Amino acid sequence: MDTMNRLAKESSPYLLQHADNPVDWYPWSEEALNTAKNSNKPIFLSIGYSACHWCHVMEHESFEDKDIAMIMNKNFINIKVDREERPDIDEVYQRVSQLVTGTGGWPLSVFLTPDLKPFYVGTYFPPDDRYGMPGFKTLIQKLADAWINDREAIEKQAEYILKGLREIDNFNIKGADYIDKNLLDEAAINLLQNIDEINGGFGTAPKFPNSMLLSFMLRYYRLTNISKFKEFVLFTLDKMSRGGIYDQIGGGFHRYSTDARWIVPHFEKMLYDNALIPLVYAEAYQLSNNKEYARIVSDTLNYVIREMRSPQGGFYSTQDADSEGIEGKYYTFTYDEIKELLHNDAEIICMYYGITNKGNFEGRNILHINTTKESLAKRYSLSIKEVDIIIERAKKILLDAREHRVKPAIDDKIITSWNSLMISAFLKGYKITFNETYLNIARETFNFIEDRLSNSNYELKHTYKHSAKINAYIDDYAFYIAAIIDLFEIDSRERYLDLAIGYTKYMLEQFSEELYYTSNKESDILIKTKSIYDLSIPSATSTIINNMIRLYHYTQEDYYLSFAIKTMKRYALFASENPLAFGNMLNSMYIYVKKPVEITLINMDNSIKKWLFSQYIPESIIAIVNDLKPLEKFPFFSNKDNNDDARAYICKEFRCSLPLHSISEIEKFL
């Protein structure tokens, strides 16, 4: 143990990866910050996460180097942060990186004064000067010298950066006077300027799934009936599910594609991607009835159950890109491996998945769908069914072969916000498949959060590993409230709605109506930020707007709707002008512009539920009720006759139906 540093006592897999470095690392803590102040040494802050490839590279090259570590230990207080544990710290210093360098990412390397003001920032640094980049060893020697001999210049630079940082949040966003269709029209037109009509998706390489933007385009199609939007989304989903960004053998999506064609992914798998992407595939299935989209949803959810689920019922956060120190080794195959494993099926599988002797990734093959089943059937004089059998048989063999390899490491901490997204994904999967396993897993994950990450005062924690730690951030509350409302939609019990209301009240008390990212309990960060941009995950702000609209319809509490409208007005114009960063905000605006449709099923049989869940009605506010009496305290339910009859009520455009009793009656009213 005497060779281990302070990180050995941490629970984060990312921090533990650095516990045997010769660097005298501190976790972010009062001890570290006080030591910097008392010793008057600058701080070197290194932020990353366990599945980050270049974080591993910088560790091996620099942080395991004894000479570099000696310079670091002598001149700096060195702090290592897991960005998944402390997204608030990461957010502040990513903004610094964007401000100073124009880019961000991980590993993030920031040099701070003892009072946390940044004076130098970058991402990955090689150990020695190369590719026009300063070597890390050179850099830390120069900065250490400047701290001793040119402190005034460093302090001046730190103040300059801090001033710019404060101005980021204080810039005047012009609010909208109204939330109307014109804003969505402008957003849709602006989005079309950024689409890739050849490969699908937005922009060029690297290419991210952007599922929230695709969901907005489907909603815009529903609003306007302009088919181009629907066709582009389906085209993109087809391209993604045929590409290497989708794990053709094991299911689930990698984080992004390094090329424009979705072929070569960055191989890490994030829990949040595999919660968000199935949502748009499920909506595409509801809209098109194409069973291939439902299969992608099921295969992705099944991957998450198989690989990412903890025995206690929560879900782990990430799966690494590397195994045995090589990126993508676990997921890729050589031509010879395929021949040896599949024998007579090898030729057809090589053609289907684009497998060649040369390979498409460092001599190995990333499997991607290279041709159609129809063309294979024709070429080999087979039926489509026979081709399907060969492909499914091969997938099982290849998955089994992979299972015997060294697996990519898993970051086994459980994050409240990402698990909440996963609850919503499993509920969406249940809606389109009626697979009870998905509903049960959603309930079990909800119970896990209630039992392990919450208390009776509606106070949430952010992460769990052996025990719960770190006060929750606003997106933990926003996504969890959304998940509880999603549960209520499918199983309308009084407890769920009471909890959603209770957590919302507590959240607003702790984070204020300004919706700051950190609660009023936190004091160890440089500035308070807000979560307004929908990037790799939805923003807390856009999610809260949607939650408030839904809560208003169930409770008829005017406060919820006025809060949603006020917050939308603040950001709506900004969102319509910059739609790439506001996909979920636009989805929340859509439900308001389109006007929600309230659908209540009481004591109805499964055939009607199944039919309703198969419909694409993204503006719907649904309740599936078996016992009406406990819900009568909420206005949404108070005017519905309390009897045992099976019936449905629909309220649309502020007019409500009489009791309806069949699919045909419901469909006619809708």
Q: Are residues 473 and 564 in the same domain?
A: yes
537 within some domain: yes
Closest CA to 560 of 568, 571, 552: 552
Does 589 reside within a domain? yes
Q: In the predicted model, is pLDDT for residue 260 greater than 80? A: yes
**What average pLDDT score do residues 383-391 get?**
97
CA–CA separation, 214 vs 220, rounded Å?
10
Determine the pLDDT at residue 525. 87
Q: How far is CA 174 from the centre of its chain?
A: 28
Question: Is this structure's pTM higher than 0.85?
Answer: yes
Which of 246-273 are b and which e, b meaning 16 or more Cβ less than 10 Å from the residue's Cβ? bbbbbbbbbbbbbbbbbbbbbbbbbbbb
pLDDT tens track for 474-530: 999 999 999 999 999 999 999 999 999 999 999 999 999 999 999 998 888 898 899
Instruction: Classify residue 655: in a domain, yes or no.
Output: yes
| pLDDT over 90 at 557, yes or no | yes
Question: Distance between CA atoms of 219 and 204, rounded to whole angstroms?
Answer: 24
Give strand pairing partners of 651: 598, 656
pLDDT at residue 656 in the model: 86
Q: What percent of the chain has pLDDT over 90?
A: 89
Q: How does strand 77-82 pair with strand 326-327?
A: unpaired
* 62 and 127 co-located in one domain: yes
If asked whether residues 113 and 57 sit together in one domain, one would say yes
Q: Is residue 1 part of a domain?
A: no
Domain boundary among 107, 135, 170: 170
In a domain, 379, yes or no: yes
pLDDT at residue 144 is higher than 60: yes
| Total domains present in the chain | 4
What tens digit of pLDDT does each residue of 566-593 get?
Answer: 999 999 999 999 999 999 999 999 999 9
Question: Could you read off the pLDDT of 440-466 as tens digits, one per residue?
Answer: 999 999 999 999 999 989 999 999 999
Mean pLDDT of 599-604: 94
Domain containing residue 69: 6-170
Q: What is the tens place of the pLDDT at every residue in 614-625?
A: 999 999 999 999
Q: What is the mean pLDDT of the chain?
A: 95
Indicate whether 196 and 314 sit together in one domain.
Answer: yes
In terms of domains, do 418 and 490 share one?
yes
In a domain, 176, yes or no: no
Distance CA 341, CA 349 (A): 11
Residue 535 lies in a domain: yes
Same domain, 538 and 624: no
CA distance 376 to 372: 6
In this structure, the answer to whether residues 484 and 418 fall within a common structural domain is yes
Nearest Cα to Cα of residue 124 among 201, 238, 47, 10:
47
Pick the last residue of a domain from 357, 379, 403: 403
What region does 362 belong to: left with phi over 0, alpha with psi -120 to 50, or beta?
A: left
Task: Tell me: do 35 and 110 sit in the same domain.
Answer: yes
DSSP secondary structure string, 554-588?
HH--HHHHHHHHHHHHHHHHHHHHSGGGBHHHHHH
Phi, psi of 83 (to 5 degrees): -65, -20
Record the tokens describing residue 468, joined without a space: 């719960």
Domain boundary among 350, 385, 403: 403
564 in a domain, yes or no?
Answer: yes
- Domain identity same for 365 and 420: no
What's the CA gap between 202 and 214, in Å, rounded?
10
Residues 52 and 150 in one domain: yes
pLDDT above 80 (res 96): yes
Q: Average pLDDT of 343-362? A: 97
> Counting beta carbons within 10 angstroms of the beta carbon of residue 242, is it exposed (0 to 12), middle (13 to 18) or buried (19 or more)?
buried
Q: Please state whether the peptide bond connecting residue 107 to the residue before it is cis, i.e. omega within 30 degrees of 0.
A: yes
155 and 57 within one domain? yes
Which residue's structure tokens are 């509350």? 477
For 37, 206, 252, the CA distances from 199, given in Å and listed in that order, are: 53, 12, 20
CA distance 145 to 31: 25
What's the CATH code of the domain at 239?
A: 1.50.10.10
Q: Is the pLDDT of residue 607 over 90?
A: yes
Query: Do 85 and 202 fall within a single domain?
Result: no
CATH number of residue 378's parent domain:
1.10.10
Which stretch of DSSP H or E encloses residue 43?
strand 43-48
